Amino acid sequence: MRIFTSVLGILLVLPVAHDARSQAYPTKPIRIIVPFAAGGPTDTHSRWAAQQLTAALGQQVIVDNRGGAGGVIGTEAVAKAAPDGYTLLGGNPGPLTIARSVREKLGYDGIRDFAPVTLIARSASCMCAHPSVPAKGVREFIALDKASPGRLI
């Protein structure tokens, strides 16, 4: 009886495995939604990735800029898209992590609704102030702001 159950289980799984294996990807264009205006770093990196993917997959990869609300609009569009691998997010930390702390409600969860695919680029950021600001680092800047609230802004 145990052998019969095992064989029956294998026979039931074979059509599913065959179906999954016979489906080619991609069979239609892939879209990378960039939640920012064209010309910025996220757009530039996504366009580079689209060129690389088009060459590697032999299928057109399109960059679709959907800027607005600090990246939330485009990011939400990707979160609501079918989870079929044909809609990707050209994202950055802003709408995925920072937006949670500055907006009461988002139409997506930056952790639950997305799965990382690859890191395309890293970029450095810096904090700058006018030379007359008497702070030589972040800690001094914060202390200065706390000592005189509203003066620096």
Q: What is the pLDDT along the chain (153 residues), one digit of tens a residue?
A: 555 444 434 444 444 444 555 679 999 999 999 999 999 999 999 999 999 999 999 999 999 999 999 999 999 999 999 999 999 999 999 999 999 988 989 999 998 999 999 999 988 878 888 999 999 999 999 999 999 888 887
Phi, psi of 146 (to 5 degrees): -65, -35
What's the Rg (C-alpha) of the chain? 23
The pLDDT assigned to 58 comes to 96
Number of folded domains that form the chain: 1
Mode of pairing for the β-strands spanning 30-34 and 61-65: parallel
- Is 13 within the bounds of a domain? no
- Is 146 within the bounds of a domain? no
- Is 145 within the bounds of a domain? no
Number of H helices, E strands in the chain: 6, 3
Give, in degrees to the nearest 5, the angle at Cα 48 between 47 and 49.
90
Indicate the pTM of the whole model.
0.69
- Is 128 within the bounds of a domain? no
CB 107 within 8 A of CB 136: no
What is the residue range of 59's domain?
25-122
The pLDDT assigned to 20 comes to 54
Strands across the sheet containing 30-34: 61-65, 30-34, 87-89
- Is 113 within the bounds of a domain? yes
**CATH code where residue 97 lies:** 3.40.190.150
